[in-house]
Amino acid sequence: MSVLRPFKATDMFKFNNINLDIWTETYGIGFYLSYLSRWPDLCSVQEAPSGRMMGYVIGKAEGSNTEWHGHVTAITVAPEYRRLGLARKMMGLLEMVSDEIYKGFFVDLYVRCGNSVAIDMYEGMGYSVYRRVREYYGNIGLGKGGQDEEDAFGAFSHADV
């Protein structure tokens, strides 16, 4: 019960229910526009039948030669719409576009080491951890997480769509 549609610039006026959540960062206008001006087809929105935004994904394509791949920069779903398979669908679209339009060899992403829910989801979709990056993320003030708070797992999946 969601509409999957392209992310557009004016969505920045409508994403508060997603972005006020602590896990979702609100970047400057330039961040979103830089992605939309280069890889708009890797950015999509899940929208409720009521018109409310439920979640979105922002991605890009990068790398050279056999390292050419799709990358998930940000994927987020509003708290009230979690556990509906929305992220999975957005990832599916991104993988398809990365594979068929960009001809990427794989898709990768970073995830906070402490975000076990997200890690489970990605692993369920066929992603596996291939490295740990120190202090990739900003501190979100958890306090006791230690290294897990700011470190990231790089995870990738082969585009076996």
Partner 1 sequence: MVLMFEEAYKQEPSNEELGMQTFFANARAGHWKSAQQIATKMYKQFQEDRYLYWSVMSAVLQANDPATPAAMRTILYKLAHRIITSSPTPSYQSNDRFHLHLSILRELELYDDAHKLLDSDVGKAICSTSLSCNEIRRDIWRKRGMIVDEGKLATRRILDKHDRNWLEFLSILDANFSYFSSSDGSPPSHVEGLEQVEKTQELFTRIAEEDGPKDRSAALALLELEKRARNHGISKDPKRLVTLMQDYFTRVGDKACCFEDLKPYLTLEENDLTRWTSFLRAVPASFTTPPELQRLINSHKLLRCNLTQLELSVEAETARATLYIEQYLEGLKLGLNLLPTELQYADDLALLAANTLVTLWKFTSDEQYLFNAVTLLEFALTRSKQSFQSRLTLIRLYRLLGAPSLALDHYRAMGVKQVQNDTLSHFLLSRASTFSLASIGDLTLVTECLESTQIYLSNSQETADFIVRAFQGERYSQIPEFIIFEEQLDNSLQRDIVKMEHLRMRLTHEQITSDVIDMELIELKFIFDRTHHDNRDFDIMSNYQPKISSDTFSQTNLLGMNESHGWLKSFLKVYIRAFQQGSDLDDSVEEKLLIGDRPKQSFGADSRPPLRQRLAEALSEEELAELTQDERLFVQFARALAEWLEPYHDYTRPPPSLVLAEAAKQTELKTGYPLKGVDLAVLDRSSSPLKKDEEPPAVVEPPEQVSRFFETLKGRFAETLKNSSPVQSLHVATLIQEAFLLFTVETLRFKATALVKANKFGALVASFKTIRSDAAAVLRDISTELVTQSEVVATAESRKAFVDACATVTARGIDIDFTLNVAKKVTDARKKVIGGVGKGIGRVCSTYAN
- Is 83 near partner 1 (CB under 8 A)? yes
- Verify binding: residue 105, partner 1, rule CB under 8 A: no
- CA dihedral 121→122→126→129, nearest 10 degrees, is -130
The amino acid sitting at 39 is W
Structure tokens at 148: 């897990």
Residue 30 binding partner 1, by CB under 8 A: yes
DSSP state of 82: -
| Residue 103 binds to partner 1 (criterion: CB under 8 A) | no
Strand (E) or helix (H) holding 148: helix 147-150
Minimum CB separation from partner 1 for residue 12, in Å?
5
Q: 57-74 in b/e burial notation, b at 16+ Cβ within 10 A?
A: bbbbbeeeeeeebbbbbb
Q: Which is nearer to partner 1, 125 or 140 (CB)?
A: 140
| Contact flag: residue 146 with partner 1 (CB under 8 A) | no
Interface residues with partner 1 (CB under 8 A)?
1-6, 8-10, 12-14, 16-17, 19-23, 26-30, 33-34, 36-38, 40-41, 44, 48-50, 52, 79-85, 89, 93, 96-97, 100-101, 140, 142
